[in-house]
A and B are shown apart, each in its own frame.
Chain A
Amino acid sequence: MTTRQKAGETRETAVRQDSDIAIVATAQLPAVRRQELTETEMLLMVVDEALGKVDLERSDIGFSCQGSCDYISGGTFSFVPNLDAMGAWPPIHESHVEMDGAWAMYEAWVRLRHGDIDIAVAMGSGKSSTGDPAAIYPLELDPYYLAPLGLDPVSLAALQARQLIESGKSTERELAEIAARSRRDAAGNPNQQVRAAEQDVDKLLAEGYLRNPLRKSDLPPISDGACAVVLVRGPRAAELTERPAWITGIDHRSEVHNPALRDLTDSASTRLAAARAGGVAGVEVAELMAPFTAQEVILRQSLGLADGVLINPSGGALTGNPLMATGLVRIADAAEAILADGRSRTLGHATSGPALQQNLVCVLEGDNR
C-alpha cells in the first residue's frame, strides 16, 4: 500500500509497471528580463521547491542532469558552479547537457530506465540578459556557410515565417492571433514575463515590422529563468504523489543542420518524434516550444493536432523564454496539467537548433481513479 493511499482504497492502475517513469513534481522561477541571482542560486531555489513538493531530500536523488550553455552565460564550464545546487554531500551521479533542460530530462529518463535508481532530477537554467542573443546565436549555426553572415535568430525566423505565409499555410492575421492568445493566457500565469502587453489582434497587425513579416509580438522576450522536474520510477512515483504524470512516450529527432536545405514550413522531426512517443490521439493540452508565432503553426500542423487541443495555455515561449530552460518549462507545464489540473493526456515539446532543427516530444498521462 502506498503512503498516500487510505486503508481500503484501491487504485485502478496505481503503478503501470515498475519500469515506468513519471514526473511527480516541477518548479520554475518566473521568467524575467533580468535576474540578479546567479544561475546556481536560481537552481537551488527550483530544486528546493520541486523536492519540497514531494517531501524528498537531495540525499534521495540517484541522478541529476542539468541543461545550460556556456555561450549564454559567458563562462567556461559554467555548469561546474551550477552543480553546487545539488550539494557536494552526499555524492550523487551527475551529468550535463549543453542544451535545453528538456534534453537533460531525456538523459535522466534514460538513466532511470537502467532500473537501479528510483529518483532523478533534471534542470535547465539560463540568463540571456548577460549577452546579446543576436551575437551569440550565430555560434550555433553552421560555422562555414552561415555564421560568417551574422544570421541572427529573428532574421532566420522571419525567413521561415515568410515561406509559411507565402505557401498559404498561414497568414499574418493568424500569427497575430497566436500572439494575442499567448498574451491573454500569460496574463493569468505569474511565471510568464509578458503579461500586460497589447492583446488586440487588429492593434498588433497595425504595429510595424521588426523583421518583415514579423512584428515584435511575433517574437519571444529575452528572459532569465530556471526549471526543475523530479522523475521517479514506478512504485515510488505513486507513493510520492496522488496522480503522477507518467511519461508514456519520449523521443527526439533531428534534421539537417542547414535550414536552407529543409522545407522550413514543415517539421518532419517533430512529426516523427511524436509518432515514436505514442502519437497525439487524445492529447488535451499541448505545450509547444514555439518562440516565434509562425513556429507554433508549423508545429501544430506537423503534429496534426485537432482543433480542440489546448495549445500553450501557459502562454508559451512567446511570453517567457529563458533559454536552456524554455523547453523543460513546456514539459513541466504539460506535467502540471496532469498533476495539478487533472488532465489525462498531455504533450510537452522542446526544440533546439536553427529554425526547428531538432525536436523532442514527451507524451504524459495521468491515471484515472
Chain B
Amino acid sequence: MTVSTQTVSTIQFPYKRTLGPVMGRFFSELTARRIVGIRSGERVIVPPMEYDPETGNELARDFVEVGPAGTVRSWTWVAEPIESHPLERPFAFVLIRLDGADTDMVHVLDAGAEDAVYTGMRVAPRWRDEPVGRIDDIVCFVPGERAEAPEGEPGEAREVTTMEYFSTITYTDVLSPTLVRYASNLRAGKLTGQRCPRCNRVFLGRGYCSVDAIRLGPELDEDLPDRGVVSNYTIVTPTPYPGQKETEPFARASVVLEGDEMVIAQQQILDLPVSEIRVGMRVRAEWMPEAERDAAEITSKGWGTVAGFIKGWRPTGEPDEPAEQYMNRVF
C-alpha cells in the first residue's frame, strides 16, 4: 500500500515585541504622519537606533524630524510580488535617503512601471488612512515631492509601545525512503522497525541507530508486536493555550513494545480513569479504522511517531509486569 511521500505543514509565529524608548518614539511619530531620526555625532540616522552603529555607544535621545520626501539611492523591481510583499501589484524595493537624513531607509515604491524608476528620483510617502505605529503606516513611497495622505490634519502622536508581527511559513516535507516504508506499513496495520546489528536495539521510523550512529537499511526491517507495557506516564492538568483541546486531566504514557525493545512516548491509554494507570500495565494498540489512517504527522523531524495510525492503547487485563524492571525506561 502506498502513502503520500509529502507532508505539508504551516507554522505561524504571532510575535508581539516591546519597542523601547527609541523605536517607540519613531513609531509613535508615525501615528502623526511624522518621520524622525536620531542624532549620532554629525549624522542623523533614520530610522533611529539606540546606539551608534560605528562605536556601539548608546545615543542621546536627540530626535530630528526628517523628510517626508527623499531621494532614491538604489532600487530593484519586483515584477511578481509574493504573498509576504506589501503590495500586490509590481513595485520597487528602494533605498531612500530622506531629506535631512544621513543614512538610507529601506522601503517600497509604487511607481507603476519599471522604467519609471531611477536612482536619484524624488519620492514622498503615501500614508495609511489610520496609522497604527508600524513601518507600513507608510504604505509605500510615490514619485514626487508631496506626501499622499487622507484629508485633514493628523492628530497628536499616540504613544506606541509594542508592535505585532505575524509570520506564516508553509513547509513541504518530503519523506525519506525509510519513512515512506514506515508509513506504508503503518497504513497496513504493521509496526516496523530496524534492528541495530551492534547494540541489538530496534528503532522505529528513523533509519539509523541513535545509540551507535549506524544507518539501518531495509534489510534490517523487523515487524514489531503492537502490544506492550506502560513504562512511564504523566497526568496533565490542562491549562488553555492555542491548539489545546483537552479540558479534563489526561494522561500521556510511554509504552515499551513487547520484547523490551522500543519505547513509544506520549501515548493515550484508552478506557481507563487516569488514576488507574500504572507502570507495568500491559496494553495493546487500538488502530484507527483503515480508512481514517493518515500519515500527515509522519515527518522527517520526528522519531517514529504513530500519530494518525494508532488511536491509543487499551489495557489487556493480563497481570502487570513488575514495575521495577521499567525504572530505566523513561523515554
Contact = CB atoms under 8 A, between A and B. Distances in A.
Interface of A: 34, 36-41, 44-45, 47, 58, 71, 73-75, 78, 81, 84-89, 129-132, 134-136, 138-139, 143-152, 155-156, 158-160, 162-163, 166, 209, 211-214, 255-256, 258-262, 264
B73 A75 contact: no
B103 interface: yes
Contact of A135 (B23, B84, B95): B84
A39 B17 contact: no
Contacts of B210: 84, 87-88
Interface of B: 9, 11, 13, 15, 17, 19, 23, 27, 45, 47, 49, 53, 73-78, 82-86, 93-95, 103-108, 114, 119, 134-136, 163, 165, 167-179, 199, 206-213, 215, 299-303
Given A36-B177, A88-B211, A147-B165, A163 B171 contact: no
A211 B106 contact: no
Nearest to B300: A38
Given A87-B213, A130-B172, A214-B76, A73 B301 contact: yes
B119 A261 contact: no
B53 A144 contact: no
Contacts of A138: 84, 167
B324 to A, nearest CB: 24
A87 B175 contact: no
B213 A81 contact: no
Contacts of B165: 143, 147-148
Given A159-B74, A162-B75, A34 B174 contact: yes
B213 A146 contact: no
A259 B301 CA distance: 33
A211 B257 CA distance: 56
Given A87-B211, A89-B211, A159-B74, A152 B170 contact: no
Given A149-B106, A155-B93, A39 B78 contact: no
A159 B302 CA distance: 39
B86 A150 contact: yes
Nearest to B140: A149
B23 A144 contact: yes
B106 A260 contact: yes
Contacts of A255: 53
Contacts of B83: 135
Given A41-B178, A162-B75, A260-B106, 14 more contacts: A36-B174, A88-B210, A89-B211, A131-B170, A135-B168, A138-B84, A143-B165, A144-B19, A144-B27, A146-B106, A147-B167, A149-B108, A155-B76, A264-B74
Contact of A258 (B49, B174, B209, B211): B49
Contacts of A88: 210-211
B136 A149 contact: yes
Contacts of A44: 208, 213, 215
Contacts of A264: 74
21 contacts: A36-B177, A38-B176, A58-B213, A74-B169, A89-B199, A135-B82, A135-B170, A143-B15, A145-B106, A145-B135, A148-B134, A149-B108, A152-B82, A159-B94, A160-B74, A213-B76, A258-B47, A258-B53, A260-B104, A260-B105, A262-B53
